[in-house]
Amino acid sequence: MRGADQQLCGPWRSLKVVVAGGGTGGHLFPGIAVARAFSVRNAHSRILFVGAGRPFEKEALAHAGYPQRTIAVEGIKGRGLWARTRAVMKIPGALFRSAGVLADVGADLVVGVGGYAAGPVALAAWLKCIPVVLCEQNTVPGITNRMLFPMAKRIYVSFENTRGKIDPSKKRITGNPVRQQILDLSTVEKRRNSKFTILVVGGSQGAHAINLAVMDALPCLRRREKIRIIHQTGAADRERVAEAYEKNGIDAEVKAFFHDMASRYGRADLVVCRAGATTVAELTALGKAALFIPYPFAADNHQELNARALVDQGAAQMVLERDLTGADLARRIDRLAASPDRLTAMACRSNMLGKPDAARTIVDDCYQLLENQACI
C-alpha cells in the first residue's frame, strides 16, 4: 500500500480504484455501479476507468461523471489470423501503458469488469502487487476473466451455477451490480387503467432481429388499442420501426437509445429483450417479467444460459432467435397481456432472484480484503 492514507486500516478510508475493461454496456454498467458504491462509501475516493476508449464507453462514462484513460488494445477471440497477430503485437505496449497509468494514480485496487481491455491492466496490477478483483457477470465466464482468475484475490459472480475453474476461497456470489439510478428511479407509479406496457430493448446498440420480429408482430396483435410499447431500436432501425408503429396505429415511444432506462423499466408490465447479464440483473433487481430472445452468437452461448437460469425458476419466458417469428411473438404477448396473474407470478419470482445490493456487497468485501492485507 502506498501513501499516508493507505497506512490506515478501516472500512471508511478513501481509496484510489481503477476499474478496468468495458467495451459493452454489459461490462461497463456494472463497473459504474461499483464505482458509485465506492464513492458513496467515501466521497474522497478517486475512481478511474481504463479501457479501449470506444465511443460508447466515452459517452456512458461522461454521462456518469467518471474519467477514463485509454490503452491501445484489441480482442483476439473470433478474429482472423492477421487481426489476432496485430492484437497480440499490441499487448506489450498496452501492458506498459497500463503500468504507467497505475503508477500515476497510485492505485490501491483494480476491479476488472470483463472485456479484453481488462487484461493488460489486471496483469500490470498483479506484477506491481496491486490487488485485483474480478466481476464475472455471466454463467459462462469470458476469455479475459478466465485468464485472469489465477491472479485475482476475489472473483464476484452473478449466478450460483457460474462455470469455470474458480478457486472456492476466492469466489463470492454477489449478483451483478446494478446502477443506482436504475434502482432509485424505477418506482414510477403506473397509472390505473393505463395501457398494458411493453418495453422492447435489444441492448445499447439495439437488436435488428428483434426489431424485425416486432414489426412483423404488430399487425397480428389482437388488442392493439390497449397496448403501449416503449422500444429502444438502436440508430439503424429507428425510423423504420417508428413508421411501423404509426402504420399499425399502436401507441409507442421509439428511440435509438434511452439514457433514463429506469423510468422505462418502471412503466413496463413486460420486457422483451436480449439476455445479457446486465439486463438480467436489472430485471431481477426490479422484479420485472421478461420474454427473453437471447443473442445467438454470444460467446459460449452465455445469453441462452443466462436466460435459462430465470426460465427454470418461472421468472421469465424464452424464445430462441431461430424460432422467432412475428406471429409467434404476437401470440406470446397477447397471452401474457390477458393473464395478469401469470405475469404477476413471473414478476414475483424474478424479484426473488434479484440482488439489488450487489455493488455494496462487493465494495464491503473489497474493503475487508484491503484491511486484512494492510493490517497483517
Residue 306's alpha-carbon distances to 128, 194, 282, 302, in angstroms, are 35, 32, 13, 6
Task: Map residue 96 onto helix, strand or coil.
Answer: helix
Q: How far apart are CA 88 and CA 73, in angstroms?
A: 9
Q: How far apart are CA 152 and CA 104, in angstroms?
A: 22
Q: How far apart are CA 218 and CA 156, in angstroms?
A: 41
Work out the angle at residue 363's Cα, subtended by the Cα atoms of residues 358 and 369, and round it to the nearest 5 degrees.
125
The radius of gyration of the chain from alpha carbons, rounded to an integer in Å, stands at 21
| Percent of the residues in the chain that have a pLDDT greater than 70, as a whole number | 90
What value does the mean pLDDT take over residues 235-257?
94
Run of H or E including 211: helix 208-217
| Eight-state DSSP code of residue 287 | T
With both helix axes pointing from N to C terminus, report the angle between 302-311 and 277-286 in degrees, rounded to the nearest 10.
20
Q: What is the pLDDT of residues 93-113, one digit of tens each?
A: 889 999 999 999 999 999 999
* pTM, to two decimals: 0.82
Residue 200's alpha-carbon distances to 206, 220, 270, in angstroms, are 9, 17, 9
Asked if residue 124 has pLDDT above 90, the reply is yes
Domains and CATH numbers, the chain: 5-177+356-374 (3.40.50.2000), 182-352 (3.40.50.2000)
- State the cell numbers at 80: 482472423
Q: What is the pLDDT of residues 131-166, one digit of tens each?
A: 999 999 988 898 899 999 999 999 999 988 888 889
Q: Give the residue carrying C-alpha cell 476507468.
A: 49
Q: Which of 349, 201, 358, 357 is nearest to 287 (CA)?
A: 349
What value does the mean pLDDT take over residues 179-198?
72
- Tell me, what's the pLDDT at 337? 94
Asked if residue 78 has pLDDT above 80, the reply is no
